[in-house]
Amino acid sequence: MGGETLLEEVLKLVIKHKSRTKDVWRKVKGDIVLALCLTGIVLTLMSLAALLFDAFQEGLPWLDIQFLTSFASRRPEQAGILVALMGSIWVVGLTALISFPLGVGAALYLEEYAPQNRLTSFIRLNIANLAGVPSIVYGILGLGLFVEALALGRSILAGALTLSLLILPVIIIVSQEAIRSVPTADREGAYARGATRWQVTREIVVPQAFPGMLTGTILALSRAIGEAAPMIAIAALVYVPFTPTGPLDRFTVMPIQIFNWVNQPQSAFRGLAAAGILVLLAVLLGMNSIAIFIRNRYQKRGR
Amino acid sequence: MKKIKKLTSKKQTQRRREWIIEKLLFSAAVISVFTTLAILGVLLFEAVGFFEEVSIIDFFTGTKWTPLFRDQQFGVLPLVWGTLMVTAIALSVAVPIGLGSAIFLSEYAPEKLRKIVKPILEILAGIPTVVYGYFALTFVTPLLQVVFPEMIVFNALSAGLVMGVMIIPMVASLSEDAMMAVPQSFREGAYALGARKHEVALGIVVPSALSGIIASFILAISRAVGETMIVSIAAGSTPKLTLNPLESIQTMTGYITQISLGEAPFGSLEYKTIFSVGLTLFLMTLVINLIGQWVAKRYWKRY
């Protein structure tokens, strides 16, 4: 009898102790989970800080007017980014002209016109898949299709067409979202008054969806201006001794020029690469600011 | 009578205009289908030419890739292996950190902090990959050489780590979206049973959002496999089957860039390797993306 009570006592003690340690353990576990998640965020932010610090520290000493207005050169102190900067502006400008109308047109078709059939759902699936194709594959497509088969050569136009195909899926997807945010009631009101489909699209849908489409397109273009891989496939790595004057000229773009400088063994060229990165980031910042400005103005109007 | 005729002719022109516009918008939408066909067409056309000269079995089973040597060997396995190795390193960085960041943002962070951190993640996602390549070569590699003094400048580890950093924002924001979509009532039910915060996060939210989280991992794999500039700059150009991440390797994308840089003459065997390797890359990412979409679809159906 007595032995049993002793056993009970011991068991009780063990259970009590266990539940207490379990409670402490639960709290510690919670702290560990929070600490790990926090570490994730902190590591991410630190990587960004290190990346920017690295570029500024190396690049700022090289960044001056001479750098912005000079051609590429074998002597680092004379080298500049002018040709690549102009090349990027040409390529992205042409890309905008090609991709914006096509992307918006495709989005309008899919949202306002397309019947619910197999072809439409195939087009949708296809766009989703294209968005996941690696950019270098687009470069290969441009090389085989535009540079060679259509005989455009390694020209600005070939580069712009390639980049247009690359960012079209993105433009279509964001434009579709912008179109979907237009209230159905607005459309129906116009239809009730006898408007045709195109009239509704042009007068009701496009004006309301336009800021969203524009914002999305600018963000897509800012991705295009940073693309190096497909541009290397199109333009290759050559010394271009002139700023472009037309869409059929040979060209180079900022990311290629940066890549070229990074690959040089002398450390001075690393500085040039960093300075080039700063210029590229400044351009990106400018484009993103414009996009955010448009978005904010549009939101203020009350939608 | 005249008036009626005028009216009907006006209606006819309007109807014709509507028809033309619909067809125009339709053709914009169909461009995406043509893009896919063109990618397949270009890759297959040149790859078939390649496989007329090199046996397709040797290509997919050969363990030596030496197209630039006198003794040409075309076994793609070393390039595929290099790609997989860098991808594995990148994922081992991006998956834990991205998931941790996502849990923190979705379950722990106050709204104010979220509003600061999310745009920073977007900045990280918008940085051009050539900048990450520069970061890998000039910052991370020297840092790693302090730990591994025998490590050479071009290595898989540095490229993989930085690629992981590049992919973090994608894993974090897609996983967070999936977690935010978990109904609040799930969490409240668990709290009512006395669960702690970390138990809700790991026991309820993560399992409920699991297919969305896994889809984000799969898309991350696809991004890593197709990523080009970081590996071109920092991973070297020696295709080999090695388990040592401190060695110089080459990925499929790195090889394509290497050949593109030199402007290989059109029609040469060297030129055609771009397309046969490109086809391999395209098919790999296509399969990965399709799996990702399938998983994501299952998740969207649930709530």
- pLDDT tens track for A263-294: 888 888 888 899 999 999 999 999 988 988 88
Question: What is the total count of domains within chain B?
Answer: 2
Residue B130 and residue B26 share a domain: no
Cβ–Cβ under 8 Å, residues A171 and A217: yes
Question: How much is the pLDDT for A281?
Answer: 93
Identify the CA nearest to B242 among candidates B77, B90, B92. Answer: B77
Q: What is the mean pLDDT of chain B?
A: 88
Q: How many H-runs (helices) and E-runs (strands) does chain B carry?
A: 14, 0
Q: Count other C-beta atoms under 10 Å from residue B105's C-beta.
A: 23
pTM of the predicted protein model: 0.88
B194 lies in a domain?
Answer: yes
pLDDT of B168 > 80? The answer is: yes
Q: Which domain holds residue A114?
A: 80-300
| B270-283 pLDDT per residue, tens | 888 999 999 999 99
Q: What is the pLDDT of residue B232?
A: 92
Please say if the pLDDT value at position B8 is more than 80.
no
Average pLDDT rounded to a whole number, residues A26-42:
87
- Looking up residue A229, the CATH number of its domain turns out to be 1.10.3720.10
> Residue B6: pLDDT above 80?
no
Domain that holds residue B27: 2-53
Query: The CATH number of the domain where B82 resides is what?
Result: 1.10.3720.10
Q: Are residues B34 and B144 in the same domain?
A: no
Which residue has 């059939």 as its token pair? Answer: A117
E runs forming strands in chain B? none
Q: How far is A41 from chain B (nearest CA, A)?
A: 5
Query: Could you report the predicted ipTM of this complex, rounded to two decimals?
Result: 0.89
Q: Are residue B110 and residue B174 in the same domain, yes or no?
A: yes
Q: Indicate the residue of A48, A104, A128 with minimum beta-carbon distance to B124.
A: A48
Question: Hey, which residues 235-294 in chain B have their CB within 8 Å of chain A?
Answer: 253, 256-257, 260-263, 266, 274-275, 278, 281-282, 285-286, 289-290, 292-293
pLDDT given at position B282 = 94
User: Nearest chain B Cα to A49, which residue?
Assistant: B124
Tell me how many degrees the CA angle B249-B158-A37 measures, rounded to the nearest 5.
Answer: 135
Chain B residue closest to A289 (CA)? B123
Task: Please check whether residues B105 and B231 belong to one and the same domain.
Answer: yes
Residue A28 falls inside a structural domain = yes
Identify the pLDDT of residue B31: 92
Q: What is the pLDDT of residues A152-199, one digit of tens each?
A: 888 999 999 999 999 999 999 999 999 998 998 999 999 999 888 899
- Over residues B58-67, the mean pLDDT reads 83
- Regarding predicted confidence, which is higher, B206 or A74? B206
Count structural domains, chain A: 2
pLDDT at B1: 59
Q: How much is the pLDDT for A303?
A: 43
- Left (φ > 0), alpha (ψ -120 to 50) or beta: where does A6 sit? alpha
Chain segment A235-261, per-residue pLDDT in tens = 877 777 778 888 888 888 999 999 988
Q: How far is CA A104 from the centre of its chain?
A: 18
